[in-house]
């Protein structure tokens, strides 16, 4: 039977049972579930949700971190013909109120007492919210316990679950996912079963996998990319490890995954940790490290082109691998065969580094509105092109508009925006192509690369278009730069706000005998000013005159998801930056007129 719905994808998982299929890693340790145990609880939850009134078309909020119960809720809701609405844990009370009321959610499933408390505090402002269910921890009055709802006798629950699957239609709405809202109010993206299934099936063709794989899920499951990965894992019946630990890098060695998806910032941090460790080693070890990475890069360059290395390089690369490269891979668990990245642009030097280690890196591009993958790379020789993402999925039409905007049409493109018919109409052109808002380039073979967001392109007062992301990524190659944000819209020159990597800056100050007891005083030291001046000038050397950074300011605080400056996928909220640092920006441009 053809896979039509998400529940059809899940059937692949159920039909390949094993005693240890799901592992949930938390600060308290690890718990394991079998295929049948997971399925039984999912079916019981489906029946319990029906008993409290969840029906076809109803919306159910999921306010939870990564754990098996997230997928149980997703599948149980879909088995009833209902719609799930996943939320990020970082939403403020005002955002929760808006998204709950806008979606018309009747039920909310919360991770723990902390998340339940958020919902309880705003319930008076959400008249349509009838029930709150809590996954773990002691429940207060008026809150239902997930454990009780999902632990009932199996009975005919399993048969009823699959009846629900048979009665589902691929055109049915499956989920509403609210965009992160980097500009204005978030919009609810409506994705059907067909959207999700078609994206899963055609993405999986590029990302081979089987039951021998162990996938690590740690990007928030409410992010479309991690959710798609979860469905791909179901399709291939991969074992899954859910991570509920903040610093996932500490878990790689323990979990030993074979495949995982991560935002570029995760890979950047892993790369920087390795580079810092190499830099702190002895001169002999630094030289050995540099030689090994070089051998890995040369071998990988030949692999990409489909050529075999000669005897000398084979010997050199084999020795480099045994002495250095395999030890670095061991920090990632030693079994990684595929890393997938998306959500933002991965700096080329980071991608090259992972390939040199012998860890294939696949780049993917898309939006929530495309379910999400539209273009994806490959690990096959001849299908890899450095600096380019890859080719469009076979079931999608991807092309460029006259101004370079990427346009997408096909079965995994969204149904539209919830309650926003005007915004839906504006999102498509007359031929039914989704306007992605991204500016790209495409070569004659169909390989795509993204230059920047159309709205993020900085247009100077002289009419020059400057793409900020490539320049920001160049700045972030410096070990003392954590985040950089280019400024210059309708201004007569380009400037930058630079967030130092405070830990590495502190180490540098200590090594150079500079007092660093007080952060603000440290940033005002002339030696620090000179360090960042050289960093900026090194980047400027390779830029066109109109792209060069004329002024910059160091920010004395990090940009984080918690302080509202970054989205949950670690993208900079440029509108927030413009507003929060308006005084500094004004001072930059009032002080200097080139």
Last residue of a domain, one of 393, 420, 450: 450
| 439 and 465 share one domain | no
| 439 and 469 share one domain | no
* Model pLDDT for residues 107-118, shown as the tens digit of each residue: 999 999 999 999
Residue 356: inside a domain, yes or no?
yes
Predicted local distance difference test score (pLDDT) of residue 55? 95
Predicted local distance difference test score (pLDDT) of residue 180? 64
CATH code (residue 11): 3.40.50.12780
Q: pLDDT band for position 183 (50/70/90)?
A: very low
* Model pLDDT for residues 320-351, shown as the tens digit of each residue: 999 999 999 998 889 998 889 887 777 788 88
| 440 and 524 share one domain | no
Give percent helix, percent strand, percent coil of the chain, each to the nearest 5: 40, 20, 40
Residue 566: inside a domain, yes or no?
yes
CATH code (residue 468): 3.30.300.30
In angstroms, how far is the first alpha carbon of the chain from the final one?
68
Average pLDDT of the residues in 397-405? 93
Predicted local distance difference test score (pLDDT) of residue 1? 62
β-bridge partners, 86: 62
Residue 216: inside a domain, yes or no?
no
| 535 and 434 share one domain | no
- What is the domain count for the chain? 3
Give per-residue burial for 220-257: e unless 16+ CB within 10 Å, then b. bbbbbbbbbbbbbbbbbbbbbbbbbeeebeebbeebbb
Last residue of a domain, one of 151, 168, 185: 168
| 539 and 440 share one domain | no
List the beta strands (DSSP E) in 420-542.
434-442, 448-453, 458-459, 465-466, 481-487, 494-500
496 in helix, strand or coil?
A: strand
* Model pLDDT for residues 260-282, shown as the tens digit of each residue: 888 887 888 888 888 888 888 89
97-106, 267-276, 418-427: which range is least confident on average? 267-276
* Model pLDDT for residues 33-91, shown as the tens digit of each residue: 999 999 999 999 999 999 999 999 999 999 999 999 999 999 999 999 999 999 988 88
* Model pLDDT for residues 526-541, shown as the tens digit of each residue: 898 899 999 999 999 8
Predicted local distance difference test score (pLDDT) of residue 155? 66
| 386 and 505 share one domain | no
User: Is residue 228's pLDDT more than 60?
Assistant: yes
Residue 444: inside a domain, yes or no?
yes
Q: Which residue, 406, 417, 378, 382, is CA-closest to 394?
A: 378
Residue 193: inside a domain, yes or no?
no
Residue 313: inside a domain, yes or no?
yes
Share the mean pLDDT of the chain: 89
| 505 and 443 share one domain | no
List the beta strands (DSSP E) in 410-548.
416-417, 434-442, 448-453, 458-459, 465-466, 481-487, 494-500
CB 209 within 8 A of CB 192: no
213 in helix, strand or coil?
A: coil
Alpha-carbon distances of 11 from 163, 528, 530, rounded to whole Å: 12, 58, 60
373 in helix, strand or coil?
A: strand
User: Is residue 593's pLDDT more than 70?
Assistant: no
Residue 522: inside a domain, yes or no?
yes
User: Is residue 594's pLDDT more than 50?
Assistant: no
| 141 and 10 share one domain | yes
Last residue of a domain, one of 168, 192, 211: 168
Give the H or E element holding residue 216.
strand 214-217
544 in helix, strand or coil?
A: coil
Q: Which of 19-23, 55-59, 254-258, 441-445 has the highest mean pLDDT?
A: 55-59
Q: pLDDT band for position 591 (50/70/90)?
A: low
Residues across the chain: 594
Task: Give me the half-sphere count of Cα atoms (radius 13 Å) on the Cβ side of residue 210.
Answer: 1
Instruction: Determine if residue 338 is left, alpha or beta; phi over 0 gives left, psi from -120 to 50 gives alpha, anything else beta.
Output: beta
Predicted local distance difference test score (pLDDT) of residue 154? 59
Predicted local distance difference test score (pLDDT) of residue 279? 86
For residue 376, give its domain range.
Answer: 264-450
Residue 366: inside a domain, yes or no?
yes
Full-model pTM: 0.81
Q: Is 90 exposed, middle or buried (0-12, 13-18, 19+ CB in 10 A)?
A: middle
| 136 and 268 share one domain | no
| 512 and 463 share one domain | yes
| 488 and 523 share one domain | yes
3-state SS of 106-157 is: CEEEECCHHHHHHHHHHHHHCCCCCEEEECCCCCCCCCEEHHHHCCCCCCCH
Sheet holding 29-33, edge to edge: 29-33, 22-26, 239-243, 214-217, 259-262, 338-341, 361-366, 373-376, 391-392
User: Is residue 453's pLDDT more than 60?
Assistant: yes
| 23 and 134 share one domain | yes
Q: Which residue has the higher pLDDT, 548 or 489?
A: 548
């Amino acid at each position: 039977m053809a896979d039509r719905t998400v529940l059809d994808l899940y059937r692949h998982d159920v039909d390949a049972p094993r005693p240890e299929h799901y592992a949930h890693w938390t600060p308290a340790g690890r718990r394991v579930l079998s295929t049948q145990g997971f399925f039984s609880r999912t079916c019981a939850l489906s029946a319990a949700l029906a008993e409290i009134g969840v029906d076809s078309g109803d919306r159910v909020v999921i306010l939870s971190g990564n754990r098996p119960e997230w997928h149980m809720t997703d599948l149980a809701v879909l088995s009833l013909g209902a719609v799930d609405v996943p939320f990020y844990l970082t939403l403020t009370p005002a955002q929760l109120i808006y998204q709950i009321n806008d979606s018309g959610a009747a039920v909310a499933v919360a991770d723990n007492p902390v998340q339940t408390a958020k919902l309880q505090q705003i319930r008076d402002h959400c008249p349509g919210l009838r029930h709150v269910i809590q996954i773990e921890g002691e429940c207060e009055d008026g809150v239902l316990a997930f454990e009780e709802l999902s632990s009932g006798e199996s009975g005919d629950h399993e048969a009823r679950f699959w009846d629900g699957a048979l009665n589902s239609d691929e055109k049915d709405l499956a989920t509403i996912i609210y965009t992160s809202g980097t500009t204005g109010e978030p919009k609810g993206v409506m994705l059907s079963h067909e959207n999700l299934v078609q994206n899963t099936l055609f993405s999986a063709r590029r990302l081979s996998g089987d039951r021998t794989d162990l996938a690590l899920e740690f990007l928030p499951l409410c992010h479309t990319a991690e959710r798609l990965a979860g469905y791909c894992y179901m399709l291939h019946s991969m074992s899954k490890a859910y991570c509920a630990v903040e610093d996932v890098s500490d878990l790689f060695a323990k979990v030993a995954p074979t495949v995982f998806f991560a935002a570029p910032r995760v890979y950047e941090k892993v790369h920087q940790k390795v580079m810092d460790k190499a830099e702190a080693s002895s001169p002999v070890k630094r030289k050995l490290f540099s030689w090994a990475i070089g051998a890995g890069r040369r071998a990988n360059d030949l692999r990409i082109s489909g050529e075999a290395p000669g005897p000398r390089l084979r010997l050199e690369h084999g020795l480099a691998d045994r002495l250095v490269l395999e030890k670095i891979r061991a920090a990632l668990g030693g079994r990684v065969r595929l890393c997938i990245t998306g959500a933002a642009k991965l700096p080329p030097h980071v991608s090259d580094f992972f390939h040199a280690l012998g860890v294939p890196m696949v780049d993917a591009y898309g939006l929530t509105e495309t379910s999400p993958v539209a273009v994806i790379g490959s690990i096959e020789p001849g299908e890899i092109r450095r600096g380019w993402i890859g080719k469009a999925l076979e079931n999608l039409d991807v092309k460029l508009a006259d101004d370079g905007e990427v346009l997408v049409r096909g079965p995994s493109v969204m149904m539209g925006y919830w309650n926003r018919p005007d915004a839906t109409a504006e999102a498509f052109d007359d031929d039914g192509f989704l306007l992605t808002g991204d500016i790209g380039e495409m070569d004659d073979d169909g390989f795509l690369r993204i230059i920047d967001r159309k709205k993020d392109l900085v247009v100077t007062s002289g009419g020059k278009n400057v793409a900020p992301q490539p320049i920001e990524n160049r700045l972030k190659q410096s070990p003392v730069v954590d985040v950089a944000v280019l400024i210059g819209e309708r201004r007569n020159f380009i400037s930058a706000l630079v967030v130092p990597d405070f830990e590495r800056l502190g180490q540098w100050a200590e090594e150079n005998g500079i007092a660093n007891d007080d952060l603000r005083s440290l940033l005002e030291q002339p030696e620090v000013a000179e360090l960042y001046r050289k960093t900026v000038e090194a980047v400027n050397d390779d830029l066109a005159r109109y792209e060069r950074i004329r002024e910059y300011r160091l920010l004395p605080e990090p940009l984080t998801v918690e302080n509202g400056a970054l989205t949950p996928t670690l993208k900079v909220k440029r509108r927030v930056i413009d507003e929060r640092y308006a005084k500094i920006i004004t001072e930059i441009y009032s002080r200097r007129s080139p």
